[in-house]
Amino acid sequence: MHPNALLEMSSELLREVLKLDAPADTVVSAFFRQHKGLGQRERHALAETTYAVLRRRPLWQHLAQSGRGPTERRLAILAWQGNDTFLRGALTPQEQEWLQQVQAIDQSSLPAKLQHNLPEWLAAPLLERLGEEQFWALANAMNEPAPLDLRVNTLKNKREEAQAVLAAANIQVEPTPFSPLGLRIPGKPALNKLELFTGGGVEVQDEGSQLLALMLDAKRSEMVVDFCAGAGGKTLALGDAMRNTGRLYAFDVSGHRLASLKPRLARSGLSNVYPTQIAHERDERIKRLAGKIDRVLVDAPCSGLGTLRRNPDLKWRQTPQAVAELQVKQAAILASAARLLKPGGRLVYATCSLLDAENEVIAQQFEAAHPQFTKLPAGEVLSKAHVNRADELVENGYLRLWPHRHQTDGFFAAVWQKN
């Protein structure tokens, strides 16, 4: 494809994504379906340039003011993630001169908001919680792309075996530092052709997400509920931990999300999972199971702000009002899920948010209103689940994962036992 045609296509994709009326990954996927003729390298350049613009949108918009021509084209030039020589082939002499001028600017002299690239409503509470040094480490970490983490399906192979298969396919891979089930791959190699992946030997899952499933410590022959199963990454991990025995209910209000669990379930070889669409957290199906369940995982609907390395558009699409509404929903879901447990049962509440409002605040409200639940120290729970360096992952007795400290998405989890 001619360089200028690809740059024009990049501008067109940015125009759609920057409307911010749908998740960026959905818009990018739809765009690629419309343009089936694009090669792997062209798709990579288009997608990564789009995400690079979203990560540092305030910075690029500020720098783009000095150029000429359509704004989206200027943004694509500034944030270009493809081949440099290729880009130069697309630029007019004036654009080349402008790009050199912009690249000569010392970005460390720009205002703070153009360096952290976070909306003020999010930057303020994070700065207050973390202090100057840690805040900037977090801001920088969230503006970098995430590596690809895999969870090994232990029903099919051991971690060392999966690692050897990937290495044999010339894929650079290392064990995850905390999760005993994880492998980490820098970059984004295509795994979907590998027998290891198509045969269900590994699943794509962030290391932090693996740790949440390990904290539930689901056992053979138990009755377990994944209360907000979504596309089912944690459901699959729980089914594996249960050695494909007992009953594992995957509840979700979205039939669409549960449908995307089906092919993953087929690959995994699990037969103990019961995907169940519910109307809301007070659904009749839940009432019928009250007091009968051994373990419940509540991976609550949240702002998703811990996943900004993967979903940078969320910082521009979320609002403080949305977070306040989510808090109401989180408290209601947690209270409803707690009714499922039998005495001695374990409850885990988790989010992929960085905000205390969705994490500690919800957990402490629940503890105050439910004295029949005792908080278990997250460090001990993690250690028992064979998690390495568990004490590094804990704050105030809760699991607290940060992209800059742990190289995972941002996660929170609280664990309780019903007396």
Instruction: Please write the tens of the pLDDT for every residue from 262-271.
Output: 999 999 999 9
pLDDT tens, position by position, 52-67: 999 999 999 999 999 9
Region 243-253 average pLDDT? 97
Distance CA 401, CA 408 (A): 7
With a cut of 90, say whether residue 157 has pLDDT above it: yes
- Cα distances (angstroms) measured from residue 354 to each of 54, 305, 306, 389: 19, 6, 5, 21
Distance CA 106, CA 98 (A): 15
Distance CA 137, CA 127 (A): 11
pLDDT of residue 66: 94
Q: Please give the helix or strand (H or E) that residue 167 lies within, else none.
A: helix 159-168
Region 192-221 average pLDDT? 96
pLDDT tens, position by position, 36-54: 999 999 999 999 999 999 9
Closest by Cα among 51, 10, 8 to 31: 10
pLDDT band for position 192 (50/70/90)?
Answer: confident
Distance CA 125, CA 129 (A): 6
Distance CA 98, CA 346 (A): 60
Percent of the chain with pLDDT over 70: 100
pLDDT of residue 122: 98
Distance CA 191, CA 328 (A): 39
Using DSSP bridges, classify how beta strands 341-351 and 293-299 pair: parallel, antiparallel or unpaired: parallel
Query: How many C-beta atoms surround the C-beta of residue 388 within 10 A?
Result: 14
With a cut of 90, say whether residue 385 has pLDDT above it: yes
Burial 174-198 (b: 16+ CB within 10 A, else e): ebbebbbbbbbbeeebebeebebbe
Distance CA 230, CA 239 (A): 15
Query: How many C-beta atoms surround the C-beta of residue 262 within 10 A?
Result: 12
HSE-up of residue 91 (Cα within 13 Å, Cβ side): 20
pLDDT of residue 374: 98
With a cut of 90, say whether residue 28 has pLDDT above it: yes
Task: Tell me if 77 sits within 8 A of 99, measured CB to CB.
Answer: yes
pLDDT band for position 202 (50/70/90)?
Answer: very high
Region 242-253 average pLDDT? 97
pLDDT tens, position by position, 301-317: 999 999 999 999 999 99
Distance CA 227, CA 298 (A): 5
Distance CA 253, CA 240 (A): 23
With a cut of 90, say whether residue 298 has pLDDT above it: yes
pLDDT of residue 244: 97
Task: Tell me if 341 sits within 8 A of 347, measured CB to CB.
Answer: yes
Alpha helices in 2-105 (DSSP H): 3-17, 24-34, 40-55, 57-64, 71-79, 84-88, 93-103
pLDDT of residue 57: 98
Using DSSP bridges, classify how beta strands 394-395 and 202-204 pair: parallel, antiparallel or unpaired: unpaired
Task: Tell me if 369 sits within 8 A of 168, measured CB to CB.
Answer: no
pLDDT tens, position by position, 80-100: 998 899 899 999 999 999 999
Q: What are phi and psi of 157, to 5 degrees?
A: -165, 170
Q: What are phi and psi of 65, to 5 degrees?
A: -60, -30
pLDDT tens, position by position, 301-359: 999 999 999 999 999 999 999 999 999 999 999 999 999 999 999 999 999 999 999 99
pLDDT tens, position by position, 160-188: 999 999 999 999 999 999 999 999 999 88
Mean pLDDT, the chain, integer: 96
With a cut of 90, say whether residue 110 has pLDDT above it: yes
Instruction: Fill in the DSSP letter of residue 202.
Output: E
- Cα distances (angstroms) measured from residue 401 to each of 128, 208, 331, 407: 17, 7, 21, 9
Distance CA 132, CA 146 (A): 23
pLDDT of residue 255: 95
pLDDT of residue 1: 85
Q: What is the pTM of this model?
A: 0.95
pLDDT tens, position by position, 66-81: 999 999 999 999 999 9
Region 126-139 average pLDDT? 98
Region 200-226 average pLDDT? 97
pLDDT of residue 188: 83
Distance CA 41, CA 389 (A): 39
pLDDT of residue 320: 97
Closest by Cα among 214, 263, 256 to 234: 214
